[in-house]
Amino acid sequence: MVSIEIKKISDSLKMVRIGVINYFKVSDSILFDAGTSCTARKLIESGEAREIEAVIVSHAHFDHITGIKELKKLEIEFFLHRDGEKILSKEKVVEIWNKEDDEFCRKSGLSHSSDLYIRPQPESRLKEVAETKNFEIIEIPGHSPDSIALFHPEERYILVADSLGFPLSDGNLPMYFYSFREYIRSIEKIKSLEPVKLCLGHDGVVTDISYCDTAIQSALKLKEEIENGLDEGEIFRKVYRESLTLYPLETLKGVVKLLIKRSLEK
């Protein structure tokens, strides 16, 4: 049985955690991230999607975007970074997302949806929405080329999805799939904003800004280990555990290859 946790984070922010997927509602009307098709269906069934007017996707990875299959039925606006739109236009990529969504949902004991067809709104419209809701769009590439964060300068929270890595019971798993250097720069950018709440794509909310330093140190450590010869099998054992076992095996194998590739880039 997939659990649902609903928690008020600040005056304008609420977290709805469904299994391992975090949804964040800004001013009740803006949803940050679409999750997967099965968790999005659970979100709708919970009644927490009733007032949603727009969905902002943090980046174009299946567990943050395929929920649009369900959410689009609500006839709401959908926003994605311009680089994410380029990824979305690739038919083969969308086909892979659908397969990943299917396997993730089956492993979670839920049924998936098909037909990922979405047409994002223009970036200019996203800026309008941000202004009306008093938050800022922050570009934080590194985890992916199109990663964005939502920062609320008054309430001092920032929604970062996977740009600070994946939280595990014994630490932080680095997730620099696009660029190691950009990943570190983006974490430093997040820290420079001095948020009091770091809202992650998985697990929950961190209220200690030193978590940014933890994310940087774990990334530096993994990069050094890979440069010193840590092999694919050893890296895979770091990745394939806890809630990450819900993810498709082939996806996680791809994660290992990307971490090696990005660690060895000059």
CA distance 261 to 179: 9
Range of the domain at 256: 4-264
Q: In what order do the strands lie in the sheet with 148-152?
A: 136-139, 148-152, 157-161, 197-200, 205-206
pLDDT tens profile 89-130: 999 999 999 999 999 999 999 888 777 777 888 888 998 999
User: Is the CB of residue 64 less than 8 Å from the CB of residue 34?
Assistant: yes
Is there a contact between 52 and 31 (Cβ–Cβ < 8 Å)? yes
Q: Tell me the per-residue pLDDT of 164-192, one tens digit each, with 9 for 90 and over.
A: 999 999 999 999 999 999 999 999 999 99
Residue 203, pLDDT > 90, answer no
pLDDT for position 120? 87
Element (H, E) at 222: helix 211-227
State how many domains the chain has. 1
The pTM of this model reads 0.95
117 vs 206 pLDDT, higher one? 206
Report the distance separating Cα 106 and Cα 116, nearest Å: 17
C-alpha dihedral sign at 97, 98, 99, 104: positive
Q: What is the mean pLDDT of residues 235-247?
A: 97
Q: Quick check: 135 pLDDT over 90?
A: yes
Residue given tokens 């679409």 in the structure block = 34
- Whichever domain contains 145, its CATH number is 3.60.15.10
b/e map 77-98, b = 16+ CB within 10 Å: ebbbbebbbebbeeeeebebbb
Query: What is the average pLDDT score of the chain?
Result: 95
Query: For position 110, what pLDDT does the model report?
Result: 87
Q: Using 50, 70 and 90 to split pLDDT, how confident is the model at 1?
A: low
What's the CA gap between 163 and 218, in Å, rounded?
13
Residue 266 above 90 pLDDT?
A: no
Helices vs. strands in the chain: H and E counts, helices first: 10, 13
| 28-58 tens-digit pLDDT | 999 999 999 999 999 999 999 999 999 999 9
